[in-house]
Structure 1
Amino acid sequence: MFDGLEPEDPRQVGRYRIVARIGAGGMGQVYLGRSPGGRPVALKVVRPELARDVDFRRRFVREVTAARRVNGAFTAGVVDAEPDGSPAWLATVYVSGVSLGEAVARYGPWQAGHVLALGAGLAEALEAIHAAGVVHRDLKPSNVLLAPDGPRVIDFGISTASEASALTHTGTTIGTPGFMSPEQLTGRPVGPASDVFALGAVLAHTAAGIGPFGTGTPHALHFRAVYEEPDLDALAPQLRRIVAACLAKEPDQRPTVADLLHRMTTPDEEDTAEATPLLTEPDWMPEAVGRLVREKAATPMPRNPASKPAPAAQPTPTAPDVPAAPTPTAPDVPAAPTPTTADIPVAPHGATPEPLLKPAAPATPAAPDTSPVTAPALHDAPTRTADHASRNPGGTPPHLSRRGALVALAGTAAAAGLGIAAWKTADRGSGSAGSPSALQPSASKPVRTTTPPAPRKPGRQLWAFPTEDEVKTEPTVANGVVYFGSNDHNLYAVDAATGRKRWSLDTGSVVYSSSVVVGDLLHVGTHSNGLYAVDAATGRKRWAFATDGSTFASPVVADGVVYAGSTDEHLYAVDALTGKKKWSFRCGRNGMVTESPVVANGVVYFGSDDNHLYALDAETGKRRWAFPVHDGVNSAPAVADGLVHISSMRLYAVNAATGKERWFRDGAKYTIPGAGNRSLGPPAVAGGVVYAGDSIEYLFALDAATGRKRWAFETESSVFSAPAVADGVVYVCSDDSHLYAVDARTGKKRWAFRTGAGLECSPTVAGDVVYVGSKDHSLYAVQR
């Protein structure tokens, strides 16, 4: 439950003795502290560079003062603080509980009565928070801790303090995708009604196991929150009505917290449900969750600092800020001993983590857990036509060209306003946590070693999962699981926090496509077997949809429909539950669809090898417009602020409504370094900026409205993948074997992580972790 202290950690802060590490976040480290009388507190120490920021200091003092006025039964209040101290810090009530995110991820959705009991406690907590003049702004499952006598809301008020921090100078907004209100995302004033919106999203997540706006990239979640209605079909009637009211798009249409308290504790006349359980009753939460919470509460906390093993020697970097690629070792490595307290990974404040793999020595790969059941092979897919067989004799996957390798995976662009709470600790529900290790695939069987963990810092490896072939698909993270495909024909589900395998599925074909998870279904395309839907929890096949070609790119799911392209020159719309075709659109001659579509505002946008960008009506498949793209289509589109961006030898901005060109840029004419004969990679749009790599060695940042270049970042090889943008940082992969973290405002490198081979797939950011696949046959989890 706790980590031992590092040599650089303080042993005393204010009047509190530091006992152990609890977690880490954007603003600093979170410790378990004890008062002179032995009272445990969660003590949060601000990073020195933030504490030196005058604006941050001013706002931090104001927000801590307001937060200290909060005194609610269901809040973890501030008990002490020294915002002007060196270091600056604050202490809150320590809650020996389990996070709501962890509870739902481990045991699944809750029944309506339990959700209403939870909601009553959260509403009462918000009532106390708002009465003190504080708006939480980042209410989410990981900021709700479950105790035997009710929930506790943590981190209220502090997220507002971080608005003036260096983390937000690039224009980001505090909040978490899927739980942020429309007014947060559109820059309007934020008040108590914004927390009501987040409360509705938290209750929907608890009742359905998935947020009301589904899963996907931050861009997709933001768009749905602002423009689309939530999916509440899985909720019981009374709960559905309450949550729907909370999720109203306009703040003044949402109920007040007091009204919510009344509605959640009073039986609905239109429903036959019994009265909501009282939080003072032992069965206010599901039985399995209650057992876990009580076990956690009964677990003794450390009284004194745990000893920390001496850190292992680290490999010498080959270049500044770039870790050297470790060298394979022989298989005769002793098994890891039983973990000690100091070996246990960071978890959210009050959360109980599952054990991670023991950190490996720098030269030794970690072994995946092979105990879970392996799903059956999918060789029973529908037979492909003779026409397809003639294009691909023998069923051997064709070698992808560099242009073909630029597989753009839908929705990789993060929307403007992406932010993670400043005091965010490792969020197990979003896949962040873990002890770093250095890992390199080798021919020998992966083993665990006794090497102690290295210090956690950005760019440090947390774990790696080896496969039998190259990993070229963008990982998908949902409900604490990472899904990805490999050229070894398998689709994998791996625990996001530990890197342990949950299941694998032999598809009988190379998996170039990334996955998309909606509800309990995972949708993925393969080289020769078309489109599949499998159970996300078990990996067992639900249905298969055969095409006459390969499905290289990630499908997209919107409003119960799967949209996927194929090399048979069609874009298909398939019912997500049944796999039945709704419609198909035939492109022009040689019009293979090898890039992902994007669905926005009832329109499907996608590129085709017939050199066109198409816009189709999502309901009927009828064409709205077609825009000619010179020199072939290299990417999926990125849709933001009324523009569609797509790349070829040029980067285009097209009016989303009319299909008319707004601007384009290429290397020969517009001051981009090097020769103009270059392919541009998949774009990502965030904060009014378009980020795209090229086939030579650069990542570019261009103004989204005008196309003017802001900066160019040089790598050592091609940048094939779409960047991922989060918290003012652009994460991008290069074929030079590195994952780079680049400052979104300046284009300066923050850190680089080296794998054993080139990277062609897009990275995925979830919580405090970046997940990326490599041609060295591994999937990596890297601290960000």
Structure 2
Amino acid sequence: MQAYVPLQTGDPERVGPYRIVARLGSGGMGRVYLAGSPGGRAAAVKVVHEELAEDPAFRRRFGREVAAAQRVAGPFTAPVVAADPDADLPWLATAYVPGVALGTAVAAHGVWPERSVRALGSGLAEALDAIHRADVVHRDLKPSNVLLAPDGPRVIDFGISVAADDTKLTTTGVMVGSPGYLPPEQLVGREVGPPGDVFALGALLAYAATGTGPFGGGPAHGVNYRVVHEEPDLERVPGGLAEVVARCLAKDPRQRPEVPELVGELGRWEAADGTRGTFTAGTWLPAPVAADVTALGAEPLPQVRPTNSARAEADLPTVTAGPAPTAVATARLGTPPAGPSSGGRPRAAARRRTAVLAAAGAFVVLAVVGGLLLPRAFSDSSRPGGDAENSGTPTAAAKQPTVRELWPSDGELQHPEVARGKLVGEGDDGRLHALTTADGDTEWTYDSPDSAYFEGIGDGVAVVSSDAEHTIQGIDVDGGKRVWEVDARTHTPSGTEFNLYMGVVVADGTVYLNAMYDLPEGADRSAMYAVSAVDLATGRLKWTNRIENILSDALAVADGVVYVGVREPDDTYFHAWDAETGDQLWRYSSRTSRPYPGELSAVAVSDGTVYFGDDRGVLHAVDARRGTRRWIYDADTGGVRQWLDPLVVADGVVYGGIGGVTSEYESGAVHAVDADSGKRLWSEQTERDPELHGLLDGSVLFSTKAGALHAADARTGATAKTRLSSGDPDAALDGDRIYFDGGDGRLHAGGVSLTER
């Protein structure tokens, strides 16, 4: 079980006195490397992202937080051993813990027994006690920030996330922290202190005991809404733990227990060998997790990196690139830490559903970040060691993308789509706008109700949904006038109350709705789901399929077939339904050799085969007519990663992005897989989650959350890139024209060209 990945071109050979030997991961603040100290001790070195290093306010806060973190000393923390906040790229080094992340362990082996959960809580409470005594608040305690070692858990990244406040990381709409673990006071913009870490601890214990967070899964905005307004679901938490977990999750921070109280209360646990409250030889862990932890600790650490020239001589596989990719109508929302996963149409991936929390005063205002776009053309050739997002394979075959600006609009337009010479999308004022593609001028504005979101266009009708108003509306693309409106009550199953639309797809004259519904108090579960079909021209309901089990967010329609994923008690199944009638055509079991099946997160259809990507990094090729397996491809990401929509199929190759389930600001990758055999042709690591846009002139174009447009050679994966934005560019490609958020509060249009390097 390897915890690290090889170094990539552009990674440093040395940071301060540390020799860099491998990558450990990446997050919203920086990249983390495995390194060796001058005396030969292993360390984890975090190097801050370049865009944050340019922010003086971030540097000041980073320096203060590092100084505070260096005061933390406790047996269940990874101490800070060195740092340089004044370096060109600030960095800090902590003791290296060869441990398995809690999220990875639960995903691989399932829920924990009460004894192990109590032991986990005991160690985490003691870690928080040490952190708080140093006047530090963690603020981002989550499964990926807890490492499991034989002698107890380790809390990492304590205090450092605070430095991201008032910087580009938060002013561009990113809330530091993970859905389900953020306390309600943080979500509504109040001060966060040690009780916020107690809330996260309670959520972690519920997660380990049940395999899902106490506020469920699904889109981030839905999870956060339940954190603020609803009680946690602790039904499956063992009785001996439920009471303490419930107190930790109290809405009022003043009602949560103090950390020293938790240390005493949770410290009375007994290990498998009968020892009381003592972490020895892995006896506190579930047996399969202990085996993984032991195996990881026995692995030899990698040696110093080879030279660039040695890596450049590696053989590269080749494929033939050809026609444009197959188009599949899909819908996707955010990525949950556990529970129904997401997948779907390209622009919905960048969806920012803030209205639910804005009603509670929860979100900061999006700031305008300027100065990153050159006047008329912006191109960024790769340079040795000069960019944090440089890809890892040789770039001799890569074509350099250049984006020549055609116009900027007067404002933002989120996840726009092109139809009839117009760009349609959500503006930063919360309303639907249509701009002319020729010059970016506003053609019309539709005063949509509160909490309305653009879902897609078909047959000259733009579709918007409103969770708050419980409606779906059709808007005439030519004039911006409402054509029809459908109230959710027309497709709400009897005995339930509408909650939210998880995904909406517009395809073949129909609007397909993937929705969640609340059940009455006292029911044996909190929610149910349904998929409905509404006529695009009239809003008339065609059919509704009620789903008793958990429905994945991902929803796709192609060639007259609807594809959905359903988690049933024994397995997760991918379904194919007739798009006109809703009748089931077949059901496919997604189970593989992994202990737990993955949930549907991405779909593509081509030449009689449907390709299902799941949230365990597995790609399934299934006969589209019979529902039988042709092959499976395991991306073997070594962690919790999911296939991201859209998948692109072109000339016998499936191209897809891999991204984080717990956070879209973790590292990702792009894979190319032979469509006939399921064999990997190449893969390229990316600094943040990638979003594929299609093929152009023999290259696969994709953008990343870090603000770059990449062109990967379709044969080799060799990659070059250009900068688009200071953050997520939310890009839409139409032929050789690209529309994107420039990070300066405006939508930009540019012409894309590729040149030999």
Q: TM-score, normalised by structure 1?
A: 0.46
- Normalized against structure 2, the TM-score is what? 0.48
Q: Which one has more relative contact order, counting CA pairs under 8 Å at least 6 apart?
A: 2
More strand by share: 2
